[in-house]
Structure 1
Amino acid sequence: MAGQAGSETVDIVVAGAGAAGCAAAIAAHDEGASVLLLEKMPTEEAGGNTRVSGGAWFDNRDAERAAVYLRSLCGDRPLPETVVRTWARETRHVSSWIESLGAVVAPNGDYKPEYPELDGSDCYGGYRCVDGELGAGRLYDVLSKAVGKRDIDVRYDTPARRLVRSPETGAVTGIVAGHDAEQQITARGGVILATGGFEADPEMVRTYLGLADPPLWGSLAATGDGHRMAMRAGADLWHMDNMMAVNGVAPPGSRHGFFAMFIYASGFLWVAPDGTRFVNETPQTGHGQARLHGSYELFPRLPMHVIFDERTRLAGPISPDADVMAVGWQVLMNGYRWSADNTAEIASGWIHRADTPAALAAALGVPADQLTATIDRYNAACAAGRDDAFGRPAKTLVPVDQPPFYAYTAKPMLAWTNGGPRRDEHARVLDPDGAAIAGLYAAGTVSSTYSWCKDGGFHIADAIAFGRIAGRHAANRRSELSPHSQRPPRSEPKASEEGATESSTSAPATCGRSRRTVRALAAGTRSRPLQCLRGRRRLPARARRPSGPDHSRDPRPVRRIESP
């Protein structure tokens, strides 16, 4: 058993330094609490999925209509009305709060709602992001610097291990953290879990999502640590079967994958392991769901072989590079740049090449006659301009008929999970009877609001909104338990709209030690992979959105894409 390295006491402990954790720590600090922010990863890999995300949040035009939209997106998986209304109100303040941290907030592109047919979608005002640019760690930089400017104790490479509970009341009173020399920290106001999802834990992924070893888009820190701590404290769970995945391809031996998106061409088809085509390859997709057979279903769900020809290979890279889509671990943290004509990936063996469909089938291990017949039927549909089998739009029906032929195996690449400990409108974690577990909070993808469908920019908005809620509520709880122990709150204007002030729920704060790396972040330092990705273009818009990126530096036609 690991040894104990002593104990200490603060007002609030926040576990996880992504968007939710930073928002919680800042909010609690600004309410007058002392805050300890624990980050599992070392400085150069800190920030969870926030660090490699698009860093955008949706522009909530109207709180009442946003509540309607969220109810519509949930469908037959309704949320408590108190959570819906709090989410709708608090996500209205994300832009003004980010601006209060010193950032310039601007729109990016002309993004439309992914579910325009649903009631309430008129609340959706597109993406807002730092400097009007997506990705490249911009949001994480802003949040990290804001933490560094405050008297918040940030400890990197310090994983949260387990919660401490009162034997008399069951309330969460602290946390044990660290590697070999664990340290017990008493949290007078509470512990806020912002530890991210469980996509990097293969056992949890198999149990809750039914996926076997999917490639990962984001941080390896997302191993369900907060989920297990909360469950041991008696937490109920929600949304555990919900997720956001995209088609991805992972190099042999790597857990991280690349988006496999074909944004420059549509001459490709998907086949199952038996060589048969099984779905429209270009469905109306959202952030995790697609409209299939009259309902919204998780998509993609199955591994598949992706077949294309020489025409498509020459059209452009299968996976967008940082100039187009500066997101994802492989691109931002590993610094990989996909070759413009896919030749490097073919040479590396990630993509199979063959002169005939039959030879390609042999490389894939599928029946040659079946794959050949499947490609022939697809090409016949292209010639007819009509896909009777699966309803693929005619404008996307480009034949696969120019040898040589190519294929790679794609899997659902997990961007994030949505399920976790159930929480209420104050971000308090609930037990199976619906009672709040005193002193325990959760925010971000460890306990996402979204029970089913979600739109672009929803996850960052949710993380910041409920991170701030958790921070304020925990800080106020500390003040109520010991009203004379806190310093005065930081005097900063709070975001308001049309004369309405924000709800006064509380959040965690931090104390002041081990801030060397925080000061470095505040000074604007960045890990090497991020330094080499400046000057990128804005992320293109979705295929059905009316306007998109500036292609003046690249004359190739593009299918517009989306960012998680």
Structure 2
Amino acid sequence: MSDKNLSRRSFLQAAGVTSAAVASGGLLASTGGAVSAQDVEWDRTVDVIVIGSGTGQLAAIKAATDGLETIVLEKAATGGGTTGISGGGIWMPNNYKMQEAGIEDSREEALEYLSRATFGQSTPELMEAYVDNCNVMLDFARSVGLEWELQSWFNDYYPEFPGGKVLGRTLQPVSTIEGASGGGALVQMMQKAGEEAGVEYLFETPAKKLVVNSDGAITGVIAESGDATLNIQARRGVILASGGFDHNEEMTVNFLRGPLYYPSAVRTNTGDGHKMAMALGANLRNMNESWGWPVFFNEEYGVSIPALAYEIGKPGTVVVNKRGERFMNESGAYDPATRTFYTYDNGTHEYVNIPGFVITDSANRNLYTLAYTQAGAEVPSWFVQADTLEELAEALEIDAEALVATVEQFNQYATEGVDPEFHRGESGFDKQTAGDPSRDDIPNSCMAPLTEAPFYGVKIWPGALGTCGGPQINGKAQVIDVWGNPIPRLYAVGNASGSPMGAGYPGGGATVGAGMTFGFIAVQDLESLESL
């Protein structure tokens, strides 16, 4: 990393800030909404402040490339946020790789698809802003060294919706980082591009409050570094890119539609940007939503593992609840699969599908991975193994009679190649992501009977890659207050905003793609502003 990545100590020394000076100013003790600009003595002035180093890095790169002095404040000791542990894909309708491959797409098809795939919780303004700017952003990203290739799976999650595509809209980054791929490579490549453009990165420096002037415009940020406070002025604007609120239990309990187990986002995602914006009167959108995916929980190491279609939807599996009943299309996309956990029984007053149980047999285990356990390998201690379905049900505390009946019915479906209950294997997504096209012994590439003992079972839970609700934004990525007015010079992107994807998850990379695109849009807007 270059000298632009200042340590906390060197930055504080350069700024002449001490803990005593902070205490005398009383800023750490200030309460309420934002800090008034007239009460702040600035330690540093830049053009643009980006809070967070995940998808927000694209905004920082754009600003610095265009000649704006830009600083990134990152709460963690290293950069990348949840983007850094993601697959790194971006959902880009009508992208250049589709055109090269001869895959037809259009603005009209993309908007038609989004209008359905966002399930009524986005707006035409946001959807049009995304579709009209995503490829402009992509061209810029390529100009700073970020190249892409078509991703062969996890494309549109609802390809049968009007305007949907089975292949082409999801791109994955081409890594130039030795030993890294996916999101890990993407954030490192973006940081390298940022450093080369002149972006300064401050790690272990969480933003705490926004500073507002007498006109209501955001003029800077109060951040903490060690025992001291940094007062950083922004001449053009501040971009919130601090991630979701997955690890803020108070917020997840109060906002999400139901319980969230073992979230996969980085632990620094505690809703910091949300709270800063809320303190200013920001309106909120999609706060009951998350980018859901089912997870296993490795009890041995205390970590969650994604339970996705390419494992739980492979031939020879079913997912059931404690009543022994199936409740999802196991081969379907992970976000809609997660929604199925939240069926509430108003007779017993419980979420009857939490936890779920993946049930499989030896034929499946010998062919496919499960919870990242290799095919044919000895299963970990937190799996349950039994010689009969009845014994398996007893060990998992599942209704044994119902489980046997469910598996018998599923086996008939698998033999016939049709799942009339959950339509497993019908969607192009199912076939592409979960199906095994090499199998010529089954009529449906996603389904095979469960007949070979021993049988295996393991719990799965409703988890999330990240929350996707936050401050309401408009098509310029400006944060909107409760009266419907933009808060001047404040922007929000990624999971620190009310997602332009609404209540849906259109396809693989929709979260990273939206964060990068709206970061690009935010910079385009703030570049039109006069410096304060």
Q: TM-score, normalised by structure 2?
A: 0.76
**Change beyond 3 A, Cα 1:193–1:388:** closer
**Structure 2: unaligned runs, 5 residues or longer:** 1-18, 24-41, 95-105, 343-353, 426-442
Instruction: Select 1:357's aligned residue among 374, 385, 389.
Output: 389
Q: Which residue number in structure 2 is paired with residue 476 of structure 1?
A: 528
Letter of the 2:199 partner, please give it: I
3-state secondary structure, aligned to 1:256: strand
**Change beyond 3 A, Cα 1:74–1:391:** closer
Q: Which residue number in structure 1 is paired with residue 480 of structure 2?
A: 430
**Change beyond 3 A, Cα 1:388–1:104:** closer
2:479 aligned with 1:446: no
**Structure 1: unaligned runs, 5 residues or longer:** 291-296, 321-337, 483-564
What displacement does 1:380 show? 4.6
Whole-angstrom CA distance in 1 between matches of 2:148 and 2:408: 50
Whole-angstrom CA distance in 2 between matches of 1:316 and 1:418: 32
Figure out how many residues of one structure are paired with residues of the other and give that number: 446
Instruction: Select 2:307's aligned residue among 248, 259, 272.
Output: 259
Instruction: Select 1:150's aligned residue among 179, 186, 197.
Output: 197
Q: Which residue number in structure 2 is paired with residue 225 of structure 1?
A: 272
Q: Which residue number in structure 1 is paired with residue 61 of structure 2?
A: 26
**Change beyond 3 A, Cα 1:316–1:385:** closer
Q: Deviations over 1:425-476 (max 9, x none)?
A: 2111001111011121111121121113322232222211111121232343
Q: Which residue number in structure 2 is paired with residue 305 of structure 1?
A: 357
- 1:265 and 1:315 in contact (8 A); partners too: no
- 1:214 and 1:413 in contact (8 A); partners too: yes
**Change beyond 3 A, Cα 1:177–1:64:** same
- 1:27 and 1:471 in contact (8 A); partners too: yes
Instruction: Select 2:113's aligned residue among 40, 63, 69.
Output: 69
Whole-angstrom CA distance in 2 between matches of 1:354 and 1:471: 58
- 2:359 and 2:456 in contact (8 A); partners too: yes
3-state secondary structure, aligned to 1:313: helix
What displacement does 1:123 show? 11
Whole-angstrom CA distance in 2 between matches of 1:259 and 1:16: 28
2:43 aligned with 1:7: yes
3-state secondary structure, aligned to 1:250: strand
**Change beyond 3 A, Cα 1:159–1:74:** same
Whole-angstrom CA distance in 2 between matches of 1:83 and 1:373: 47
**Change beyond 3 A, Cα 1:402–1:208:** same
Q: Deviations over 1:352-372 (max 9, x none)?
A: 112222322232123334434
Q: Which residue number in structure 2 is paired with residue 511 of structure 1?
A: none
Q: Which is bigger in relative contact order (C-alpha 8 A, separation at least 6)?
A: 1
2:450 aligned with 1:415: no
Letter of the 1:86 partner, please give it: A
3-state secondary structure, aligned to 2:82: helix
Instruction: Select 1:49's aligned residue among 72, 82, 92.
Output: 82
**Change beyond 3 A, Cα 1:163–1:406:** same
- 1:262 and 1:318 in contact (8 A); partners too: no
What displacement does 1:69 show? 3.1
Whole-angstrom CA distance in 1 between matches of 2:111 and 2:166: 9
Whole-angstrom CA distance in 2 between matches of 1:38 and 1:408: 41
Letter of the 1:74 partner, please give it: T
- 1:103 and 1:131 in contact (8 A); partners too: yes
Letter of the 1:237 partner, please give it: L
**Change beyond 3 A, Cα 1:300–1:244:** farther
Whole-angstrom CA distance in 2 between matches of 1:64 and 1:87: 13
Q: Deviations over 1:20-73 (max 9, x none)?
A: x11111222233322121011112xx2112112222223432444433332233
What displacement does 1:85 show? 2.4
Whole-angstrom CA distance in 1 between matches of 2:167 and 2:406: 41
Q: TM-score, normalised by structure 1?
A: 0.72
2:516 aligned with 1:464: yes
3-state secondary structure, aligned to 2:475: coil
- 2:309 and 2:330 in contact (8 A); partners too: no
Whole-angstrom CA distance in 1 between matches of 2:93 and 2:323: 45
What pairs with 1:93-132 in structure 2 (closer than 5 Å)? 93-109=136-152, 113-121=156-164, 125-131=168-174
Instruction: Select 1:282's aligned residue among 322, 326, 331.
Output: 331
- 2:207 and 2:223 in contact (8 A); partners too: yes
Q: Deviations over 1:199-224 (max 9, x none)?
A: 23333223322343412333222221
Letter of the 1:427 partner, please give it: A
What displacement does 1:316 show? 2.4
Letter of the 1:57 partner, please give it: I
Whole-angstrom CA distance in 2 between matches of 1:304 and 1:122: 30
Higher mean C-alpha displacement, 56-65 vs 415-424: 56-65
**Change beyond 3 A, Cα 1:359–1:417:** same
Q: Deviations over 1:220-277 (max 9, x none)?
A: 2222111111111111011222222222102126253333545494212122123333
